[in-house]
Amino acid sequence: MSWDFKALEVSAQTQIAQANSLPVLEAIRQKYLGRKGLIAQIYSSLAGSSAEEKPRIGKGANELKDLVTGLLQTKQTELRSQEKSEVKALDVSLPGVSFPLGRPHILTQTIDEICTIFERLGFVVEEGPEIENEFNNFTALNIPVDHPARDAFDTFYLDVPDPQNPGRYLLLRSHTSPGQIHVMKKYRPPLAVVIPGRVYRPDAVDASHCFMFHQIEGLLVDDNVKFSDLKGMLETFCRHLFGEKIRLRLRPHFFPFTEPSADVDISCYLCDGKGCSVCKKKGWLEVMGCGLVHPKVFEAVGYPKGKYTGLAFGMGVERLAMLKHGISDIRLFFENDLRFLKQF
């Protein structure tokens, strides 16, 4: 058999040059260098060739093989690097990668909202410690030694002795009111602060109770602070939080650290006071406790007797968030279920 090596070389060169992908190039490699490929065929034709033809065919086959191997190698490198740069190139028609947007927890949002309203009214945000002593949590707030709130059933006592009071133990604050004591010791009047924070009580967990929850305490101390100041300010606050339409009602109540004291109700924002399931047919919703600072509290922080007057209030953040957003179970705040959290 006579082989036209010149023609075979030209045809291999053309085919390899035109290959536009790695699979096509592989097919060409098989065609020339494969076990049953062209070059293998040429070598096997040697057996039936004449003695004069053999050297020419052998040399031609070797040269063709070297040529094709070299060309395939070069082309393969070229196609590979092309493929890589194609991957790197930006395809603007592909859908974008979306990053899920995070947000503050609904309780954080509520605390921020409440504090912002008070900041606009001239209050400053302060924080107090979660670990307290009996003096700040009770005594300074005029809570008598035999008051049931001091009982271990109502307060988490720690296994940590109070360094300032031998024989007594530190505790987890059961309300944010001890924050009032810290603030009054730190600053002289006039002062107006709100103190948000976690509080702890050994309550059995149910739809409306948890052993840890959040409160926001308010305290304003100045000359000549009146009960009407308290009412006007809380009315402004409640209207900002629950809407312009709501009315405020103060019911006489008792707190050891304020005198007089009151519970604050708002007309139900849902039924406008007519009675519905949110207000349990009462038309009113209790939102916080308040009063004028008791002289004993001023005495406990060492303010001169009779010099200052003040107003104070305290509210539960979970309760307000539940009312505002129609949340029926306090446990939802702490379960970290994204289906709940994503709604706010």
Query: What separation in angstroms does the CA of 325 have from each of 39, 303, 328?
Result: 81, 41, 9
Cβ-count burial of 282 within 10 angstroms (0-12 exposed, 13-18 middle, 19+ buried)?
A: middle
Q: Cis before residue 104, ω within 30 degrees of 0?
A: no
* Strand ranges inside 156-211, DSSP E: 157-161, 169-172, 191-200
Stretch touching ligand DAH by CB under 6 A, among 84-92, 93-101, 270-278, 308-316 = 308-316
Residues in 182-221 that interact with ligand DAH by CB under 6 A: 217
Residue (217 or 265) nearer to ligand DAH, CB: 217
Q: Nearest residue to ligand DAH, using CB?
A: 314
Residue (258 or 309) nearer to ligand DAH, CB: 258
- Which listed residue (183, 234, 312, 317) binds ligand DAH by CB under 6 A? 312
CA atoms of 7 and 13, how far apart (whole Å): 10
Q: How far is the CB of 258 from ligand DAH (least distance, A)?
A: 4
| Amino acid letter, residue 314 | G
CA atoms of 150 and 131, how far apart (whole Å): 15
Residues in 73-92 that interact with ligand DAH by CB under 6 A: none
Stretch touching ligand DAH by CB under 6 A, among 35-43, 56-64, 108-116, 286-294 = 286-294
- Is residue 237 at the binding interface for ligand DAH, with CB under 6 A as the rule? no
Tokens of 279: 């207000």
DSSP classification of residue 70: H
Residue (258 or 267) nearer to ligand DAH, CB: 258
- Is residue 313 at the binding interface for ligand DAH, with CB under 6 A as the rule? yes
Residues in 10-69 that interact with ligand DAH by CB under 6 A: none
CA atoms of 262 and 138, how far apart (whole Å): 19
- Which listed residue (128, 197, 273, 289) binds ligand DAH by CB under 6 A? 289
| Amino acid letter, residue 2 | S
Residue (128 or 291) nearer to ligand DAH, CB: 291
Tokens of 135: 């003096």
Q: How far is the CB of 196 from ligand DAH (least distance, A)?
A: 13
Residue (42 or 220) nearer to ligand DAH, CB: 220
Q: Which long-range contacts (CB under 8 A, 24 or more apart) does 322-330 make?
A: 323/242, 323/269, 323/278, 323/285, 323/287, 324/110, 324/241, 324/242, 325/106, 326/278, 328/207, 329/207, 329/208, 330/207, 330/208, 330/209, 330/210, 330/213
- Which listed residue (133, 314, 322, 333) binds ligand DAH by CB under 6 A? 314
Number of residues that bind ligand DAH (CB under 6 A): 11
Stretch touching ligand DAH by CB under 6 A, among 46-54, 158-166, 203-211, 289-297 = 289-297
- Is residue 255 at the binding interface for ligand DAH, with CB under 6 A as the rule? yes
Q: How far is the CB of 178 from ligand DAH (least distance, A)?
A: 9
Contact, 154 vs 201, CB < 8 A? yes
- Is residue 177 at the binding interface for ligand DAH, with CB under 6 A as the rule? yes
Place of tokens 């289906």: 339
CB neighbour list of residue 276: distance below 8 Å, 6 or more residues apart = 268, 270
Residue (273 or 314) nearer to ligand DAH, CB: 314
Stretch touching ligand DAH by CB under 6 A, among 10-18, 112-120, 300-308, 311-319 = 311-319
- Is residue 170 at the binding interface for ligand DAH, with CB under 6 A as the rule? no
For binding to ligand DAH (CB under 6 A), which residues are involved? 175, 177, 217, 255, 258, 289-291, 312-314
